[in-house]
A and B are shown apart, each in its own frame.
Chain A
Amino acid sequence: MARITASVYTSHVPAIGAAIDLGKTNEPYWRPVFAGYEFSKQWLRENKPDVIFLVFNDHATAFSLDLIPTFAIGTAAEFQPADEGWGPRPVPKVIGHPALAAHIAQSVIQQDFDLTIVNRMDVDHGLTVPLSLMCGQPQAWPCPVIPFAVNVVQYPVPSGARCFALGQAIRRAVESYDEPLNVQIWGTGGMSHQLQGPRAGLINAEWDKAFLDRLIADPKGLSTAPHIDYVREAGSEGIELVMWLIARGAMADVAGGPAPKVVHRFYHVPASNTAVGHLILENAR
């Protein structure tokens, strides 16, 4: 059977993608950000999965106000990097895993999560920046990726508790797949940031660090935090952090297994308007 071996959590700031694409990673402003991912790139080379299930949000790119799915799973064979208005990022196209994605879609819907199934979707920085941070600038991404888009643009976004339960459903879906695939689940977005209004630029490092602590040690308790806590404490766009609870819910300890191993933790302020947080958790082998 397939199994989830690890989860990765990271911010997905667009300016990080631009810094990579424009060769600025060694500039003094950016060097500390990318230093935090040096371990992670090595770790991913040594722990290359067969498939990455990548939880992200679209930023008015693939989904306008025409259509606002709360949870959308990409089941296509491939996904093109989107033109978000500055031209498409010069990164490889994303190869999907239609068989596993379709299996997960069916299983998760049967577990009462009403997913939207997407067979055509360009993927924006929310998906490609985490890949760049973890993989650098390869000719091709190291493995197939299943994009899983969450609406965090139009309020109300799904609750933390709903996301945490969805992660558990995704784990069960993966484990019911016959082929023995090594699957990683990544949760992206956050940490504290606000991009609008007179409160733009908000950073709350204390809250962010407590979020990381609780995500590791008490994800169930963390999942009960209401939206308003994220908005008030971590900024209007900090609410993206609910997506991390999907990845965390898919880890073995939530289903009674052993606690995951924290193999990497990183936090840095700022990247553009945003606090960068990053964790790698491994399930026991």
Chain B
Amino acid sequence: MSLDKPYLDVPGTTIFDAEQSRKGYWLNQFCMSLMKAENRARFKANERAYLDEWGMSEDQKQAVLARDLNRCIALGGNIYFLAKIGATDGRSFQQMAGSMTGMTEDEYRQMMVSGGRSIQGNRYVGEEGDAQAHRQPQGAAGQKKEA
């Protein structure tokens, strides 16, 4: 009998469940290693060489090198672990969260100050909200795409 996963139809959202955790084990443990200053220094000195010390897939390494957090999450990363990369880069949680929407830092911050992203149209895949797949990327980047 399969597991009950009622969260697969929430748009723009990946739930870090046991399956994702298994996929992302080494990716997340690599992130954890960045809690130590000496490891942050070694990673910054040669990112590729440092990543090669971990049992990560090539896709995972490329996603880290590109700082593509959406891709990291698809490949099993969890945001609280990935935040260690952000800390190493000197980025805040808000900068990291914003980077996954396609919005600029200012656009994202303005959305939050204005009350945050609306739930309208963003509860189920297939609605019309701004988190839906067909409306990415968001902000000016998305408008440019449509133009």
Residue from B25, B111, B131, B132 whose CB has the most chain A CB atoms within 10 Å: B131
Please provide the 7 A-B residue pairs with the shortest distance between their CB atoms, ordered closest to farther. Answer: A203-B116, A85-B87, A198-B12, A199-B12, A199-B131, A60-B80, A200-B97
What's the Cα separation between A226 and B6 when bound, in Å? Answer: 10
Which parts of B94-122 form the interface with A (CB within 8 Å)?
Answer: 94, 96-98, 100-102, 108, 111-113, 115-117, 119, 122
* B111 proximity list for chain A (CB < 8 A): 201
Residue from B11, B18, B80, B132 whose CB has the most chain A CB atoms within 10 Å: B80
What's the Cα separation between A61 and B87 when bound, in Å? Answer: 13
* A197 proximity list for chain B (CB < 8 A): 12-14, 70, 73, 100, 131
Cβ-closest chain A residue relative to B77: A196
Cβ-closest chain A residue relative to B27: A65
Residue A256 is within 8 A (CB to CB) of chain B in the complex: no
Given A231-B15, A232-B10, A198 and B116 touching (CB < 8 A)?
A: no
Question: A residues bordering B, Cβ < 8 Å?
Answer: 14-15, 29, 59-61, 64-66, 83-86, 153-156, 192, 194-205, 207, 226-228, 231-233, 235-237, 269-270, 272-273, 275
Kindly identify which residue among A61, A83, A237, A270 contacts B116, using a CB–CB cutoff of 8 Å. Answer: A270
Kindly identify which residue among A66, A192, A198, A202 contacts B70, using a CB–CB cutoff of 8 Å. Answer: A198
Are B100 and A65 neighbours in the complex by a CB distance under 8 Å? no
Are B11 and A199 neighbours in the complex by a CB distance under 8 Å? yes
* B100 proximity list for chain A (CB < 8 A): 196-198, 200
Cβ-closest chain B residue relative to A230: B7
Are A199 and B108 neighbours in the complex by a CB distance under 8 Å? no
Are B16 and A198 neighbours in the complex by a CB distance under 8 Å? no
Are B138 and A198 neighbours in the complex by a CB distance under 8 Å? yes
* B93 proximity list for chain A (CB < 8 A): 14-15, 195, 272-273
Known: A197-B13, A197-B14, A237-B79. 5 other contacts (CB 8 A): A154-B17, A154-B18, A196-B79, A198-B138, A203-B117
A206 to chain B, nearest CB (A): 8
Are A205 and B115 neighbours in the complex by a CB distance under 8 Å? yes
Are A202 and B116 neighbours in the complex by a CB distance under 8 Å? yes
B81 to chain A, nearest CB (A): 5
Residue B78 is within 8 A (CB to CB) of chain A in the complex: yes
What's the Cα separation between A231 and B1 when bound, in Å? Answer: 24
A249 to chain B, nearest CB (A): 24
Are B21 and A65 neighbours in the complex by a CB distance under 8 Å? yes
Residue B35 is within 8 A (CB to CB) of chain A in the complex: yes
Are B131 and A15 neighbours in the complex by a CB distance under 8 Å? no
Are B21 and A198 neighbours in the complex by a CB distance under 8 Å? no
Q: Mark B37-57, 1 if CB is under 8 A from A, else 0.
A: 000100000000000000000
B143 to chain A, nearest CB (A): 16
What's the Cα separation between A227 and B7 when bound, in Å? Answer: 9
Are B25 and A65 neighbours in the complex by a CB distance under 8 Å? yes
Cβ-closest chain A residue relative to B124: A232
A225 to chain B, nearest CB (A): 13
B44 to chain A, nearest CB (A): 13
* A269 proximity list for chain B (CB < 8 A): 112, 115-116
* B81 proximity list for chain A (CB < 8 A): 60, 64-65
Cβ-closest chain B residue relative to A14: B93
Given A15-B93, A64-B32, A199-B117, A85 and B136 touching (CB < 8 A)?
A: no
Give me 24 A-to-B residue pairs in the complex whose CB atoms sit less than 8 angstroms apart, sorted by A's number.
Answer: A60-B31, A60-B84, A64-B81, A65-B21, A65-B28, A65-B81, A85-B87, A154-B78, A155-B7, A155-B16, A155-B17, A155-B18, A196-B14, A197-B13, A197-B14, A199-B10, A199-B12, A201-B101, A201-B108, A201-B111, A202-B117, A202-B131, A203-B117, A232-B124
Are A194 and B80 neighbours in the complex by a CB distance under 8 Å? no
